[in-house]
């Protein structure tokens, strides 16, 4: 038995090494790119060299002027366009597109293993940083720690743990009848209870706090337009989270819930389907980011036969999706701050970059859409200068594509090279 266990461990270790890339043997890595997109200005710079030391960028500039250490490992991408590793500020790595009662059969350990698979898919798709906003029993904390320890491949993670919800709200378990007494681990009602829950989540490893401010689409018995937490409860959540150094993301579809969440001081509104002028004004006043999750609507419409949505959830989706497109386009035009998020798990992980084209259809320029997943998302996460740009001091998180993504943003759906922290995890150009 011991021999079998050892054999299994070795096999798993070899698999992880094979998917995680080969660690560099030198402290220095040099990436030479045919073109580099400056995501802040939109300029496409030719013949650029990035010098990396211990996983961080130490210099960028023209290849002719680059000072290259003698021990550097060279990576040649002469026909590619490089840009910063992409950031997705709204994912659920431990979840899959399961919306019916079959999801009740999934254990938390199984969800953690699903998360390991999805973390790898997300990284290979070019998303080197991800904010995970909601997972049961701190399974996302375990996933983050496993990635940081090098046990499994995946993006840099900021995680929320269990999302806060009112009893019977969108983030509560509302699929089982009374006799099961089923309550999700993030449920808290009243000011004292939400303060306790924020502190408990932080105790067990949460990097940020997720709160369900309104009803949702993929839950029974609630209405996306109805507010759930009161303004006073949300103010208490935000006050404790901010005092303890955590940002707050608010799931909010309804207009009143969006406005209340912004007034309470949350850092981002997730979804924003029924955002109106009052909500837009509140968000602009308080500097709140909008994290729209748009491509999921396309995917759900195109894959109705795969989703197996219970009829009440399908009815809500059919009502919310077109309203969200109209209202979010108005929010874009009104100048709210926007950060990139997908809600991946509503559709298969790894398709995250399909979000860009929908954002462009709703009014953003390709460059603005790219900025939502780089400099804007980095600012929302509190990691400006570390991720979202290719500048000295930033982590060497780099992706490369064919062509110019400012001219055709769909090129980001076909990332061919991924580096995280100076380590190559994908290189189709080397084939």
Residue 156 has pLDDT above 60, yes or no: yes
pLDDT, position 195: 98
Nearest to 291 by CA among 88, 31, 105: 88
The region, left, alpha or beta by phi > 0 then psi within -120 to 50, assigned to residue 362 is alpha
Banded pLDDT at 238 (limits 50, 70, 90):
very high
Run of H or E including 337:
strand 337-338
Residues constituting the chain: 431
CB 212 within 8 A of CB 251: yes
- Whether residues 34 and 145 fall in one domain: no
Check 140, 197, 210, 397 and give the catalytic one: 210
Interacting residues of 230 by C-beta distance below 8 A, sequence separation 6+: 260
The region, left, alpha or beta by phi > 0 then psi within -120 to 50, assigned to residue 21 is left
Residue 218, classed as helix, strand or coil, is coil
- Whether residues 346 and 305 fall in one domain: yes
- Whether residues 246 and 329 fall in one domain: yes
Of 139-143, 175-179, 198-202, 318-322, least confident by mean pLDDT is 175-179
Residue 346 has pLDDT above 70, yes or no: yes
CATH number of the domain that residue 218 is part of: 3.20.20.140
Mean pLDDT of the chain: 91
Distance CA 62, CA 41 (A): 17
Buried b (16+ CB within 10 A) or exposed e, 302-334: eeeeebebeeebbebbeebbeebbebbbbbbee
Banded pLDDT at 265 (limits 50, 70, 90):
very high
Residue 43 annotated as catalytic: no
Task: Give CB contacts under 8 A, 24+ apart, made by 388-391.
Answer: 388/39, 388/84, 388/87, 388/129, 389/39, 389/40, 389/84, 390/36, 390/38, 390/39, 390/50, 390/57, 390/60, 390/82, 390/83, 390/84, 391/57, 391/60
- Whether residues 47 and 182 fall in one domain: no
pLDDT, position 18: 41
* Count of domains observed in the chain: 2
- Whether residues 281 and 167 fall in one domain: yes
- Whether residues 122 and 227 fall in one domain: yes
- Whether residues 62 and 146 fall in one domain: no
Of 242-251, 270-279, 301-310, least confident by mean pLDDT is 301-310
- Whether residues 350 and 402 fall in one domain: no
Say if strands 289-291 and 337-338 run parallel, antiparallel, or are unpaired.
parallel
Check 140, 172, 222, 343 and give the catalytic one: 343
pLDDT, position 4: 39
Structural domain boundaries, residue 212: 86-381
Token match 């680059």: residue?
A: 66
pLDDT, position 209: 98
- Cα distances from 317 to residues 84, 251, 307, in angstroms, run 34, 16, 12
- Cα distances from 366 to residues 36, 134, 180, 223, 303, in angstroms, run 16, 29, 49, 34, 26
CB 27 within 8 A of CB 366: no
Nearest to 93 by CA among 155, 25, 27: 155
Last residue of a domain, one of 347, 364, 381: 381
- Whether residues 202 and 272 fall in one domain: yes
- Whether residues 372 and 401 fall in one domain: no
- Whether residues 125 and 38 fall in one domain: no
CB 216 within 8 A of CB 170: yes
- Crossing angle of helices 231-243 and 255-264, in 10° steps, is 40
Strands of the 127-132 sheet, one edge to the other: 86-91, 127-132, 156-159
- Whether residues 226 and 335 fall in one domain: yes
Burial class (CB in 10 A: 0-12, 13-18, 19+), 360: middle
CATH number of the domain that residue 8 is part of: 2.30.40.10
pLDDT, position 167: 95
Of 71-75, 249-253, 267-271, 327-331, least confident by mean pLDDT is 71-75
Banded pLDDT at 26 (limits 50, 70, 90):
low
pLDDT, position 105: 81
Q: Which of the 8 DSSP states describes residue 352? A: G
Banded pLDDT at 64 (limits 50, 70, 90):
confident
Banded pLDDT at 22 (limits 50, 70, 90):
very low
Q: 306 is written with which tokens?
A: 């795969």
Residue 71 annotated as catalytic: no
pLDDT, position 218: 87
């Amino acid at each position: 038995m011991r021999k079998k266990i050892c054999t299994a461990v070795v096999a798993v270790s070899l698999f992880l090494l094979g998917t995680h890339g080969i660690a560099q043997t030198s402290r220095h890595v040099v990436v030479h790119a045919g073109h580099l997109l400056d995501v802040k200005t939109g300029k496409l710079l030719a013949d650029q060299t990035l010098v990396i030391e211990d996983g961080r960028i130490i210099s960028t500039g023209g290849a002719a002027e680059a000072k290259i250490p003698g021990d550097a490992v060279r990576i040649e991408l002469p026909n590619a366009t490089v840009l910063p590793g992409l950031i997705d500020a709204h994912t659920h790595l431990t979840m899959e597109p399961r919306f019916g009662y079959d999801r009740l059969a999934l254990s938390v350990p199984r969800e953690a293993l699903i998360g390991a698979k999805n973390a790898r898919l997300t990284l290979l798709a070019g998303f080197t940083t991800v904010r995970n906003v909601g997972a049961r029993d701190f399974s996302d904390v375990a996933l983050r720690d496993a990635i940081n320890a090098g046990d499994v491949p995946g993006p840099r993670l900021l995680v929320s743990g269990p999302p806060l919800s009112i009893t019977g709200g969108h983030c509560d378990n509302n699929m089982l009848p009374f006799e099961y007494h089923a309550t999700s681990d993030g449920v808290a009602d009243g000011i004292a209870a939400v303060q306790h829950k924020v502190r408990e989540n932080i105790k067990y490893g949460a990097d940020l706090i997720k709160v369900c401010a309104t009803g949702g689409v993929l839950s029974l018995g609630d209405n996306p337009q109805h507010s759930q937490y009161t303004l006073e409860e949300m103010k208490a959540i935000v006050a404790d989270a901010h005092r303890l150094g955590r940002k707050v993301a608010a799931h909010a579809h309804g207009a009143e819930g969006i406005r209340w969440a912004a007034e309470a001081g949350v850092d981002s509104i997730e979804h924003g389907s029924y955002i109106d002028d009052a909500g837009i004004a509140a968000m602009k006043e308080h500097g709140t980011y909008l994290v729209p999750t748009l491509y999921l609507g396309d995917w759900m419409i195109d894959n109705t036969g795969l989703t197996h949505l219970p009829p009440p959830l399908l009815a809500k989706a059919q009502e919310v999706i077109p309203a969200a497109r109209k209202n979010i386009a108005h929010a874009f035009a009104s100048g709210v701050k926007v950060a990139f998020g997908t809600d991946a798990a509503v559709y298969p992980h790894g398709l995250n970059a399909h979000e860009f084209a929908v954002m462009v259809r709703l009014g953003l320029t390709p460059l603005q859409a790219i900025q939502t997943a780089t400099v804007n998302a980095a600012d929302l996460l509190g990691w400006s200068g570390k991720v979202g740009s290719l500048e000295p001091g930033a982590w060497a998180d780099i992706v490369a594509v064919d062509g110019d993504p400012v001219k055709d943003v769909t090129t980001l759906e076909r990332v061919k090279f991924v580096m995280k922290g100076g380590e190559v995890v994908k290189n189709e150009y080397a084939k």
